[in-house]
A and B are shown apart, each in its own frame.
Chain A
Amino acid sequence: MMKEKLQAIREDAIAKIEAAKDLEALNEIKVSILGKKGDLTQVLKGMKDVSPEDRPKVGQLVNDTRSAIEERLENVKRDIARKLREEKMKNEVIDVTLPGRMQMKGHRHPNQIALEELERVFIGMGYEIVEGPEIEYDHYNFELLNIPANHPAKDEQDTFYITKDILLRTQTSPVQARVMETGRMPIRILAPGRVFRSDEVDATHSPSFHQVEGLVVDKNITFADLKGTLEQFAREFFGPDTKVKLRPHHFPFTEPSAEVDVSCFKCGGKGCRMCKGSGWIEILGCGMVHPNVLRDCGIDPEEYSGFAFGIGLERVALLKYEIDDMRLLYENDMRFLKQF
């Protein structure tokens, strides 16, 4: 009797649930069956008429019916919710090809980007970044660097003078001398900075530009160490397949000296317009610190040795970003700066 009744409620409920079109209808059904005055609740109220020994069995039956209905209710509710959501999302379709919104941000100067890249590589190798004065004594800019008075190199570098002894530094190398003079060993420094030479402004020259100078002084520093260091730098900076070529050269403050070419990072060494077909690009000068320089800075060349290198920052930036006119770096046109 009870069983049939429950069966009937169950079938009726499920039929109604299946037929429900929306969440409200479903809710009504729930109330009409499981609510306080609902059909199933009514049946429960009739439990008192059931004999005590049957009660557990009937109770079980009622619970089964209830959870079956609830389960079906939940399922259908989920289905309806899903349908509604899908319906809603259909109306929310956007044109994903419309442009993205960006915060207005400033741009780092290409020279600065190149410098930070360089600094990153060398800080990783244990170099400390140091700076020195831009207006410098002849003593540091030339004399301590093995460039005595009347040395032709002084002419080559076409110096801006303030007085006979004070000038605009023509290179970052005086920072070397200043650091060595302190006598603190070992030395591993990178000295970036502005330098000046009296070149008229044109597409490849500027009376003011930047160099980045590296210096390592310690016991047993070798020319091979210099080569290895520059190779490591080149691979970090220009890419892992970069090859490095050292060519003998002459600088008054290093001996032996070299100019360094890297395999062209545009064509990989096959030869292109950028490397003028040679496959190589000259990027820096370097060498073993000249014993005279060590000695004049108070370091015993019998005990210590070192290497130094100097990179033209603008040159690297121009090459790296394929900028064809150096003047752009100093014009500060937003249309130029925005590209970095």
Chain B
Amino acid sequence: MNTPISWLKVYVPDLDVELQDYVDAITLSGSHVESWERKDKNLEKIVVGKIEKIERHPDADKLIICQVDIGAETPIQIVTGAPNLKEGDLVPTVLDGGRVAGGHDGGPLPESGIKIKKGKLRGVESAGMMCAIEELGSSRELYPEAPENGVYVFPEDSGVKPGEDAVGALGLHDAVVEYEITSNRVDCFSMIGMAREAAATFGLPFHPPVVPDTSKGGEVEQYASVEVEAADLCPRYCARVVKNLKIGPSPKWMRERLAAQGIRSINNLVDITNYVMEEYGQPMHAFDLDTVADHKIVVKRAKDGDTFITLDGQERNLDSDVLMICDGEKEIGIAGIMGGENSMVTDKITNLLFEAACFDGTNIRLSSKRIGLRTDASSKFEKGLDPNLALEAVNRACQLVEELGCGEVVDGVIDIYPNPVMPWELPFEPEKMNRLLGMNIPEAQMLEYFDRLGLTYQKETNQLIIPTYRQDLHCMADLAEEVARLYGYDKLPSTLPCGEATVGKKSFEMLVEDVVREVCENNGFSGSMNYSFESPKVYDKLLIPEDSELRNAIVIANPLGEDFSIMRTISLNGMVTSLATNYNRRNKEARLYEIGNIYLPKALPLTELPEERKMLTLGMYGDSDFFTMKGVLEELFQRLGLAGAFTYDPQGGYSFLHPGRQAAIRQGDMVIGYLGQLHPEVVDNYDMKGEAYVAVIDLPKLAELATFDRRYEGIARFPASTRDLSMVMDKNIFVGQVEAVIRKHGGKLLESCQLFDVYEGEQIGKDKKSVAYTMTFRAKDRNLEANEVNAIMEKMIEGLKKLGIELRS
């Protein structure tokens, strides 16, 4: 929403504040100013000049020398190339040292304008410049009387005199303010609404237009009739008739106000509808009554499959939810959106039907979306207009028709308004409002604010009468906001909630996440973020089998595109994509982790919310291998009180991992995650090369097992006894199996077993490897005897032999 300050002053004549003060105050009272523009920016020392004498330039064919009366004792001499000047013309003249907004070509305006200095043109002194409208920062669009090429000449009837302020004479001492109006304040999408806000903000008198009521009685029904079939979509339809139209230009004041609002003047009729739409926020439509079949308007739904050509020449597809304006025979306009090509008003119009209606906002919004056509009118209707505005607006239009001598208004109005909206009442509850706000604003002051806003107070009943244009006021809290915003949010006190103390905290799962982050970062992994939605193609990229449950993903009905169309069921794609991004940007090394959800439907299509599981995903390439990754996980498990709690099962069967370099991480039957090297084909699918490693951990499962409880177990007081064991075994025996035997036989006395060597080589033999452990035995309560340890070692060695493991000498 934009308003020129000058137009607001029509209704708030006492509004006389600095622009910055206006902007600050109106923002603080609720109409957020997004931007503003001074029309007289960079226009300095520009006066009305009268050309007294024109001579030819002695050395240039295209230049003339003018003597210009600027209201001073002697005229000044100005050389110009403008072709449109004659003696006696009154023109805007910028004096030596002044400034204009831009060049005469109407290009983009330089930030600080163009400075004008005295100088010589082809040897002849020139003491200033006569300005084209473009040099004043405006255009022929808004000043149609300006010449296409040349200096602006004031019209003869303008009454300006030499020496006067030319910027003021052009109405350019003005500013246009742009607001961000919130969707609840439909009334503020109009000049009157904003003027009311301005008046209320500054506590100034508000003078809305005074419109004599010519709608009563009359013979309008002899000229036209209206029938509303779809009353649910059209709460009100007002029509008035104007005879004997005289199409011509609008008066200067109307052209100027429209120009200030950036609307080009067309003719008096079009200008009036535009003017009323800006003034009241009520779109109007004009029909050529003589082309309306049977002089009858019918408001009804279109039929499914209908097409209709709007006045922009486009064919539109309709359906039975689109509301149409029809005449006695055919459709002539899409209600509230755009008229039809078949009923376009031409200059030959003599009799006119003005439509000012109220259409259902939601219907207009949805229709306009479906049809793909949003217009000034539809954007107003879709907010849901006050139906009481329609009659006011059409009467105002008729008043202007008469004022402008544009035609003869037929008395009376056709007004189809079966369920009139009446002002409603809300109790005046100053105490409650003060309690909600934490304030102590006196009752009288509150009432004064309501008065400014047009709410009247009935003392006898203690009720506030809410005018229908304030559709947003329905409860005490709404009224409290009105009080607060006029009092000033900036003047509200600052307090802190009192009452029962509460404990600030994070859940246990969040504390586990904190540890996860810390461990990841300590190991060189950086936090990353990926989208929750991805392409269904990722399953193929990750070599996930056709029949895998992972492919049962939730599909977004209206995605941004296929690439963002399913909710991820596996967190790897984002991670591998990020690794690939780094790889392809030639980052030598990358280590990333992500904590984020996957979304697992219980059934498809969804009938209830899916399971959202938070997954920790790690990914890396560069100077690292499987055991780097495993080390990170082991550190994490240790930090969560889960050292040694999991086994690493090489038979996880993860299709996207290297078949010989992967492990499911399990505790009994429960798998809490996996790690491994990415399958080379997957690496290839993501346009990477080399080895990359990933790990995925189900955080809810991990959190369920995790504990921060620790118990001091004492520091060993008795000496330990250590033994080394060096073994040769088949290559395909996992050290995990070896360790299981060692631990089984080691029992409580085995304090630790430490792998210190794994070797494969010719000395050992083909398909063999040697593995060596150091074992530490200790008893908590005594010195261990050598033969106790020896007995254990013997059993252990026997157990190992059963696996086909031999001792190395």
Contacts and interface: CB of A to CB of B under 8 A. Distances in A.
Interface of A: 103-109, 111-112, 119, 122-130, 133-137, 150, 152-153, 155-156, 160-163, 166, 168, 186, 188, 194, 196, 198, 200, 207-208, 216, 218-225, 227-229, 231-232, 245-250, 255-259, 288, 290-292, 305, 329-335, 337-338
Contact of A332 (B472, B520, B529): B529
A337 B528 contact: yes
Contacts of B556: 160-162, 168
B645 interface: no
Nearest to A163: B606
Contact of B438 (A134, A163, A224): A224
Contact of A106 (B490, B495, B526): B526
Nearest to A109: B527
B587 A247 contact: no
Interface stretch (B95-103, B202-210, B457-465, B559-567): B559-567
Given A109-B527, A188-B504, A227-B494, 8 more contacts: A106-B524, A128-B504, A160-B533, A163-B605, A198-B558, A246-B489, A250-B184, A337-B592
Contacts of B590: 334
Contact of A129 (B29, B493, B506, B589): B506
B587 A223 contact: no
B578 A331 contact: yes
A122 to B, nearest CB: 7
A160 B369 CA distance: 17
A26 B590 CA distance: 62
Contact of A152 (B383, B490, B505): B383
A163 B557 contact: yes
B495 A224 contact: yes
B529 A222 contact: no
B610 A223 contact: no
A211 B170 CA distance: 50
Nearest to A206: B531
A217 to B, nearest CB: 10
Contact of B555 (A123, A162, A292, A305): A162
B545 to A, nearest CB: 25
Given A162-B557, A332-B592, A129 B505 contact: yes
Contacts of B527: 106-109, 112, 337
Contacts of B475: 255, 291-292
A332 B501 contact: no
Nearest to B486: A248
Interface string B250-279: 000000000000000000000000000000
B537 to A, nearest CB: 18
B484 A106 contact: no
A220 B532 CA distance: 40
A135 B599 contact: yes
A228 B497 CA distance: 8
Contact of A207 (B438, B529, B531, B585): B531
B481 A150 contact: no
Given A135-B599, A161-B557, A248 B481 contact: yes
A305 B436 contact: yes
B489 A162 contact: no
B365 A155 contact: yes
Given A106-B520, A150-B362, A161-B557, A135 B501 contact: no
Interface of B: 27-30, 32, 182-185, 361-362, 365-366, 369, 382-383, 435-439, 472, 475-478, 480-481, 484-485, 489-490, 492-507, 510, 517, 520-533, 554-560, 564, 567, 578, 581-582, 585, 587, 589-593, 596-597, 599, 605-607, 609-610, 612
Contact of A105 (B29, B369, B383, B524): B524
B438 A218 contact: no
Contacts of A130: 507
Nearest to A110: B527
B609 A135 contact: yes
Contacts of A331: 578, 581
B439 A220 contact: no
Nearest to A129: B506
B522 A105 contact: yes
A334 B609 CA distance: 35
B724 to A, nearest CB: 32
A209 to B, nearest CB: 10
A124 B30 contact: no
Nearest to B528: A332
Given A106-B527, A108-B517, A152-B383, A123 B506 contact: yes
A256 B182 CA distance: 13
A245 B490 contact: yes
B504 A125 contact: yes
Name the 8 nearest CB pairs between A and B, nearest first.
Answer: A222-B438, A224-B438, A109-B527, A256-B481, A250-B182, A123-B504, A248-B30, A228-B494
B555 A122 contact: no
B479 to A, nearest CB: 10
A152 B382 contact: yes
Contacts of B185: 250
Given A134-B597, A186-B502, A255-B477, A246 B436 contact: no
A135 B496 contact: no
A109 B438 CA distance: 39
B503 A128 contact: yes
Contacts of B501: 126
Given A106-B593, A208-B532, A333-B587, A153 B183 contact: yes
Contacts of A123: 504-506
A175 to B, nearest CB: 13
A11 B437 CA distance: 97
B502 A126 contact: yes
A111 B529 contact: yes
Given A135-B599, A162-B554, A126 B489 contact: no
A331 B578 CA distance: 6
A332 B382 CA distance: 42
Contacts of A223: 436-439, 480, 484, 492
A207 B555 contact: no
Contacts of B496: 225, 228-229, 232
28 contacts: A105-B521, A106-B525, A108-B526, A112-B527, A125-B504, A126-B503, A129-B506, A129-B507, A135-B567, A135-B599, A135-B612, A153-B183, A155-B365, A160-B557, A160-B558, A162-B556, A207-B531, A208-B531, A220-B435, A222-B439, A225-B438, A227-B489, A228-B494, A246-B492, A248-B30, A329-B529, A334-B526, A337-B592
